[in-house]
Structure 1
């Protein structure tokens, strides 16, 4: 890792030059451009020239080289915005200097505030429940640093990877879906990205696509080139619930599986992030007993000072299940902060966890796993399972 880290670090400072001329407006249905705001200094805001009636999800971006030039990847970012997203890049248009991960947080703070500020052109026009943080190269490292923000819906890492094992705690705390878009084996960040991929928490929904273009990507090409096209598809899926776009990333027959991209997948289904339907009794209350048999096994996947990641495996008994409910008893001082592949009610003490809409039906003997991140010590939890 040390040699790779030196190579990547050297590459991270090489970006920020002016890009090729952008295709005016991008290819999406909402021609887009960029602007600045006095209330968000040193940032560049990409938006549809005419705001559509649909609320815009939010995409915040860290530039290559951590360069404070908000138009360094203008073609790519304008393309994303033209498909109905508010995209905010760190750095002023044609700016100079360096960025920090804090600037990504500032972008999120500003968008959330503008959405609720009467008199703002964005008042009630943004979807602040759908926020992606992303970045290229050094900007990808900034995205990692911000991915634990509870407002973040998904993280996207472009040609980047952690530079040393001492930063692996940033992987352990990941709880939301993540995607990697890397430039293939010739990309100097490739070994680091592959190393990160192997260390992701068990159960975390993750996608990796490698396009053999090297570290420079396709950002300066018309509409951001292939990286722009695929980024739009990913954001439509994760931030707008577009399962047609999501089909490019999920399953052995995924759209990108039949292209020049080399694809890897973990824990992906098209329904990730879709609210589930808990098993219910005829009265409409969650089932608490009397249903088909099932079992639940709790394991601590990772533990660190102050936090942990745990997995629960649910297995149907001799009868098929239409849904399941796990009663989880957490020790005193322990809290659940986020959950994936399931829906939770409560966060400490006695917590009820039910299936998502896509993983409740189990054949006899079939298993499914959900996971969660918590604070405190993960050992000593007790689980029980009820089927419906």
Structure 2
């Protein structure tokens, strides 16, 4: 539970202006190291195809494909160069980095802008005439963000295209948003500024609620909420972020040794390290979302485990696809449910679900699908990125609901 009403109130009311102040101080740092320390000197640019974003990339694109890192700024600021040193440093090690907001822009951003960044990169990788044609590794995508930008990263971390989530000096503000933790299935890493970081209590609370079996890393460095982003090459946060992304997006196990095991490279240093389910070799497990193991006495308790879910009846392959429904967690006020959609004996170009909820149940928020209606019989259609399925292949979606999730049914029709 989040028994930190004062801290939450401060964060909710002040995180944007506070971080915007940090942004203003670090927009044009005196210690800028042009190009970064990596083998591919980098800078930033913009694209008419992706307005209100800043794109960091090696000046000369290397022969190796670039994994993708999309970023939400501190204060949800629309200044895409507010963490310039940090992001350019990452790009110089062979990554395409896209920040919300235009260079030196003003205003605020939304989590949808992170999804726009991914959509654009994927499209550019296959667009004839694009400088990025065939140059990007669209199977390796990370999302991250600082402070308010970390909340944006959480909001889209269920996107099936994302390989890992990185949270910098951030944590969910309200228990009502904990469903974003329970739906996580890909590795996550936290880089926090220690106990003096205003986000520290919320980050620790999130850490305790991660799904069982989820690969997770947390490092705390006593620098406070402002981090080291404005230092040369992003300082220590820049160095460690590069190592983590090299491991998760490039399969660099030497970089991975900094995060894994009792004698990891960051262990017994100025970093205070916590680890869960981390291994260097082989693919990282992708567990089904599960609730926090410890029930909370607060008015909005952490979900307690529901009985092993029984899939709802599927429609076989007669209409081109089938679907199964299961309740992942249930508590007094609501539940989290998962739906798996599987193509039949032939590929499909899209799908539509008919979800019938029990009396008193309603959809509060949905990911990886678009719902029409919230109670009774709800129609759900695919997103732009998960409608096309090869024969026998599956995709997953889910939602947080109110009431009881038991007894719902779902059928699938190919469109």
TM tier, smaller = 0.7 to 0.9
SS state at 2:267 partner: helix
Give the counterpart of 1:205 among 215, 219, 225: 215
1:188 to 186, 198, 213: 198
**Are 2:29 and 1:20 aligned?**
yes
Q: Does 1:11 align with 2:20?
A: no
Verify the 8 A CA contact 2:185 2:289 in the aligned structure 1: no
Cα distance, 1:2 vs structure 2:
1.5
Please name the residue that 1:63 is paired with. Answer: 73
Contact map agreement 1:180 1:209 (CA 8 A) in 2: yes
1:73-123 C-alpha deviation (Å, 9 max, x unpaired): 000000000000000000000000000001101000000000010100000
Distance 2:306 2:291 in 1: 7
Decide which of 124, 129, 152 is 2:162's aligned counterpart. 152
Partner Cα separation in structure 2 for residue 38 and residue 134 of structure 1:
23
Q: Give ranges in structure 2 of 5+ residues lacking alignment.
A: 293-303, 315-322, 327-339, 344-395, 400-404, 408-415
In the TM superposition, residue 249 of structure 1 has moved relative to its aligned partner by 0.3
Q: Who is 2:189 aligned against?
A: 179
- Aligned mates of 1:60, 1:331 — CA distance in 2: 36
2:353 is aligned to none
Structure 1 residue 8 displacement after superposition: 2.2
Tell me the number of residue pairs that the alignment of Structure 1 and Structure 2 aligns: 310
For the 8 Å contact 1:203–1:311, the answer to whether it is kept is no
Q: Unpaired runs of 5+ in structure 1?
A: 277-297, 313-327, 338-345, 350-372, 380-388
Match of 1:85 in 2: 95
Distance (Å, rounded) in 2 between the aligned partners of 1:301 and 1:127: 30
Could you report, residue by residue, the CA deviation over 1:128-160 in whole angstroms, capped at 9, with x for unpaired residues?
A: 000000000000000000101010000000000
CA positional deviation for 1:378: 9.1
Counterparts of 1:20-169 in structure 2, within 5 Å, are 20-21=29-30, 22-169=32-179
Residue of structure 1 in register with 2:313 after alignment: 332
- TM-score, with length taken from structure 1: 0.74
Identify if the C-alpha distance between structure 1 residues 157 and 84 changes in structure 2 by more than 3 Å, giving closer, same or farther: same
Equivalent residue number for residue 218 of structure 1:
228
Q: What is the alpha-carbon distance in structure 2 between the residues aligned to residue 37 and residue 272 of structure 1?
A: 37
Q: Secondary structure at the match of 2:112?
A: helix
Two-structure CA RMSD over aligned residues (Å): 3.1
Q: Is the 1:248–1:254 Cα contact (8 Å) retained in structure 2?
A: yes
Superposition TM-score, scaled by structure 2 size: 0.69
Secondary structure in structure 2 of the residue aligned to 1:244? helix
Q: Structure 1: which 4+ aligned runs deviate by more than 3 Å?
A: 298-303, 308-312, 328-331, 333-337, 346-349, 373-379
SS at match of 1:142: helix
Distance 1:44 1:5, change over 3 A: same
Q: What residue number does 2:378 align with? A: none
